[in-house]
Amino acid sequence: MDTDQIRTFLAIAAHGSFVEAAERLHVTQSTVSARVRRLEEELGARLFVRNRSGANLTAAGRRFLRHAKALILTLDQARHDVGLPGRFEASITVGARIALWEGFFLPRWLDQMRSRAPHIAVSSEIGFEEDLMRRLVEGTLDIGLMYTPRHSTGLVIEHLFDETLVLLASEPDRPWPDEGYVHVDWGPAFHARHANYYPDLERPALHANIGWLGVQMVLYSGGSCFVPIRVARPLVDAGQLFLVPDSPRIPLPAYMVFPRERDAGAVAFALATLREVAAAEAAHGAREGTSAPLE
């Protein structure tokens, strides 16, 4: 059994497809099949059932999944930890949507980690839900923070706080809807609420897959887009963007996802600190909700 076999197994488990695993690993499908065949021979059990829809784990495959993730995570951490200076006792890897790194939520958490747990090294990354979930399944990510997680065996999904999305425009008196509206992809829940608020709105010509990109487009060319209120406030305070009058405030839940068996040691401390910072974020959002309107 070698690491290529295990990583191939995890890639198939994450995507449910030999073909997709081959593309992700940049190898041929025959190579993927050969690795799985050798792994099954070594384990003495069939790991996947292949059908028209892809590949599903067998009972033996599901039992091996936990061990496979632990093996790869242990190896990756060993490689990382060996190269760390002696003052570090552990390391964790955290990935999140870019919007959660903006403002003060994750930067505040990282500051707390640096001051309260200087012995823990933190690798910080940006990603979308699909990649974050895949890496959590593969065991190469300790904690993922996102808006639209999907349920997967062995992963815990925990609600952290609710964002509040507000509609900003480049001019205070700009009519809305306008041709410069940038539809930001905040996920299925946002799309549903957006459709309820604006059932007759034509499909916008401009789209962005992250809020930061939408803001940059509006700042440069004019227009409007929805962004979290914590990201909006400094832009409004600086007179760069303006709240669209009578526009809705749309809630957007934020979640953290982590492997069930990883809720210990350095990861446990990181999760506890995230909960503390999230509670402060929720309290801050509640205060904003009762304070003078953003304008």
Q: All domains of the chain, ordered by start, with CATH?
A: 3-63 (1.10.10.10), 79-158+254-290 (3.40.190.10), 162-252 (3.40.190.10)
pLDDT above 80: residue 77: no
Residue-wise pLDDT tens digits, 203-224? 889 999 999 999 999 999 999 9
Confidence band (pLDDT; 50, 70, 90) for 271? very high
For 219-255, how does the pLDDT look when each residue is reduced to its tens digit (9 = 90+)? 999 999 999 998 899 999 999 999 999 899 999 999 9
| Each residue's pLDDT tens digit, 281-292 | 777 655 554 344
| Beta strands per DSSP E along the chain | 48-51, 54-57, 90-96, 120-126, 143-146, 155-169, 182-184, 206-208, 224-228, 242-243, 250-259
Give the pLDDT band of residue 183 (cuts 50, 70, 90): very high
pLDDT in the model for residue 167: 96
Is the confidence at residue 94, as pLDDT, over 60? yes
- Quote the CA–CA distance of 13 and 55 in Å, as a whole number: 8
> Does 18 score more than 90 pLDDT?
yes
| Bridge partners, 207 (sequence order) | 183
Residue 295 in this model has a pLDDT that exceeds 60: no
